[in-house]
Amino acid sequence: MMRPLNILITAAFCLVHALPALPALAEDVIFPPNSVVGLKPPGAMKAHVALPIFEDVAQDAIISIFAEPRNGSHDRSFSEFGKIEKVPSDKTIDSPIQYWKLADGVEAHVLTYIQKRDGIVQRYWTVAARDADLLAIIFARAAADSALYSNAAMQAALRTLRFRKTPPQH
């Protein structure tokens, strides 16, 4: 007969060894190197080793992240971004601009458009996101007919955007 403490230790040992086999949680956010903005990358995208981007080179898909401290001029830019009605002539707006309220008080405007150039059709997502301290602009691109990086998959990934106050120090 096992003692209660032995049972507890055995159960904890089994649990710890089972954890690596568990699937990643939907909210597992990855921050590219030195970035204060992260997300759960879609498909087979991986964080670049040195740049604030996620990429899938084989599929020619990318998410680029630019962030800086928020100031008054950013507030106007953010509001104006939410009112964009026209894009350059070689692009077609794919859906109306969306306004999202994300976790931790992050708000975002999302514009999706299609571009056809040299017979290649690509879908683009441009996101202006902010919280009380930061403004981030996120650009994403994938083949318009990609099953791995469909509009739904990319928007789901973009909805996982998270901000942190400072990048880790190495």
CATH of the domain at 72: 3.40.1000.10
> Which of 25-29, 30-34, 35-39, 161-165 is least confident?
25-29
- Please report, for residues 6, 24, 109, 112, 162, the alpha-carbon distance to residue 76 in angstroms, rounded to integers and kept in the order given: 62, 38, 13, 21, 22
The answer to whether residue 60 is domain-embedded is yes
Residue 65 CA to residue 135 CA, distance in Å, equals 11
Would you place residue 93 in the very low, low, confident or very high pLDDT band (cuts 50, 70, 90)? confident
For 108, the domain range is 24-163
| pLDDT average, residue stretch 3-12 | 44
For CA atoms 118, 119, 120, 124, the dihedral sign is positive
Q: What is the mean pLDDT of the chain?
A: 81
**Angle in degrees, CA 25, 29, 35, rounded to 5:** 170
Would you place residue 40 in the very low, low, confident or very high pLDDT band (cuts 50, 70, 90)? very high
Residue 108, pLDDT score: 95
Look up the pTM and report it.
Answer: 0.78
The answer to whether residue 4 is domain-embedded is no
More confident: 28 or 144: 144
| pLDDT average, residue stretch 144-148 | 96
The total number of structural domains that make up the chain: 1
The answer to whether residue 10 is domain-embedded is no
The answer to whether residue 16 is domain-embedded is no
Residue 3 has pLDDT above 70, yes or no: no
More confident: 70 or 169: 70
Residue 143 has pLDDT above 60, yes or no: yes
More confident: 136 or 16: 136
